[in-house]
Amino acid sequence: MNPLGERTRADLPPYARTRPPRLAEASDGFLAGIAHGWGERVVPAPVEPAAARAAAEHRGRLSALFPGRTLVIASGHAAPRNGDADHPFRAHSDFVWATSCQLEGGVLVMHARPGGHDAVLHVPAPARPGERDFHASAAHGELWVGPSAGLPEWSAALDLPVLDVSGLTLPPGALTAGAPLRGAGTPVAGSGELPRALSDLRRVKDEWEVQQLRVAVDRTVEGFAAVAREVPLAVRDGLGERWLQGTFDRYARTFGNGPGYSTIVGSGPHAPVLHWVRCDGDVLPGQPLLLDMGVETTTLYTADVTRTIPVGGGFTPAQRAVHDLVEAAHRAGMDRVRPGAWFSDFHFASMEVLARGLHDWGLLPVSVDEALSPAGQQHRRYIVCGVGHHLGLDVHDCGASEYEEYHGAPLEPGMVLTVEPGLYFHAHDETVPPELRGIGVRLEDDLLVTADGQEVLSGALPVDAAGLEEWARSAAG
């Protein structure tokens, strides 16, 4: 004890006077004991049989495009968050499309042969008892993150040869896609040829993919109802936008993999902010509440739906006028979604309705024709974003495609896309009358292009203002 009666290091037992070793370092007793006494167990690979069959068909379509070329697609690694913590891992969508797998550090190699390719999946071999990473790897060790499937289990689930990724070597000239590859001497994709091809292939969904998107949309519609039920509580107790964001994210995590993108909940003056994911404001009575939300399924296909609802009653006349104009643009855009129509057709249809409405309100300094011309676009002050995109494994799917294969291409049966016009009058925008400032309205539906037209997958949610008023009242109880 020191003169103040406090314990000193000399008062501690001998083992406590030394620097404690890290478990994975030179502690012979620990290392000898941790390696033994573990029962064997077999963990199945987390793969749905239907998903594996769909991925095999996807590889066949990809193979036909690149005869004689070796193809490599990597899943990637978790991104650092801060310190020694990582963000949750999410495999690259190209890798998921070609394998149905979501494992970290995986690499698919398609070796060219006469008439096609032989696919081999390379994965990190799990660390078993007796191996250092079993107890020492916080990222992959079983004692840290739980048990994982072995190479034989992955091979059986996928009907593919599966090898340890540590022994992977790639031939020169291989085309690469997916996440960046790690390792000295690994080729780097320069032309983007393979990513573009994968993006183009992913634009048309097969029956299995469409079913996954149906599930994603159905769960999303249910998630909207879950959020609407919480609106009165968010207002009454001052829980705000973040409570509603958390409500949807919890629902998405419970009934899917999670939200397919950062959930947007914008009340009042936050509604015009296109990607208001901060969600740190109040939910304001009498103000429109913009909800842009999507559930991602366990197979990683996502929905993307937006509605703008009143809080604590109905829309005011000014809010209703904005909503009605956006609804008219939305319906005009959806009507142009059909086989053979150009992808850009629904964009122009929606924009024409918005431009004419804004002109009628005296908000355009030029004629409608001049505003719609390439050199004009004055109406875009109030809608700087686009009005739709492809949907699938990514919320903005197939983004690596060239313009001619995306915006400049005709629609085909099996494509799934969103139509999402809106009007965004910011609270500090002095070009609009005071009664419009702070109003933001967006309507977004997910549509499947069919053989003779389109199907609105998210049609269970009302689109018109009166229908949304009634839906919001009913959902809130």
Q: Are residues 395 and 412 in the same domain?
A: yes
Together in a domain, 235 and 172: no
Calculate mean pLDDT across residues 5-21: 66
Residue 462 clears pLDDT 60, i.e. is over it: yes
Q: Assess whether 236 and 178 both reside in one domain.
A: no
Indicate if 335 and 414 belong to the same structural domain: yes
* Residue with the larger pLDDT of the pair 65 and 135: 65
Average pLDDT, stretch 217-222?
Answer: 98
Contact assessment for residue 109 and residue 70, using Cβ atoms and an 8 Å cutoff: yes
Residue 310 forms part of a structural domain: yes
Number of domains composing the chain: 2
Among 176, 200, 224, the domain-final residue is: 200
Q: Is residue 70 part of a domain?
A: yes
Within 10 angstroms of residue 430's Cβ, the number of other Cβ atoms is 8
Distance between CA 110 and CA 477 in Å, rounded?
55
Summarize the confidence of residues 25-49 as an average pLDDT. Answer: 87
Distance CA 46, CA 153 (A): 9
Closest by CA to 219, choosing from 255, 261, 264, 243, is: 255
For 369: left if phi > 0, alpha if psi spans -120 to 50, otherwise beta; the answer is alpha
Q: What is the pLDDT of residue 30?
A: 83
DSSP code per residue over 215-247:
HHHHHHHHHHHHHHHHHHHHHHTT-HHHHHHHH
Amino acid 160 reads L
Residue 32 lies in a domain: no
The answer to whether residue 279 sits within a structural domain is yes
Name the domain boundary from 200, 229, 261.
200
Q: Are residues 182 and 224 in the same domain?
A: no
Q: Inform me whether the pLDDT recorded for 285 exceeds 60.
A: yes
Sheet containing strand 305-309, edge to edge, reads: 264-267, 289-293, 305-309
Q: What is the pTM of this model?
A: 0.94
- Other Cβ atoms less than 10 A from the Cβ of 193: the count is 15
Q: What is the mean pLDDT of residues 441-458?
A: 98
Alpha-helix runs per DSSP H in 203-316 = 207-236, 240-255
Tell me whether residue 255 is in a domain.
Answer: yes
The verdict on 61 and 159 lying in the same domain is: yes
What are the pLDDT digits (tens) for 142-172?
999 999 999 999 999 999 999 999 989 887 8
The residue segments making up the domain with residue 376 are: 207-476
The CATH number of residue 99's host domain is 3.40.350.10
- Does residue 438 sit within a domain? yes
Does residue 68 share a domain with residue 119? yes
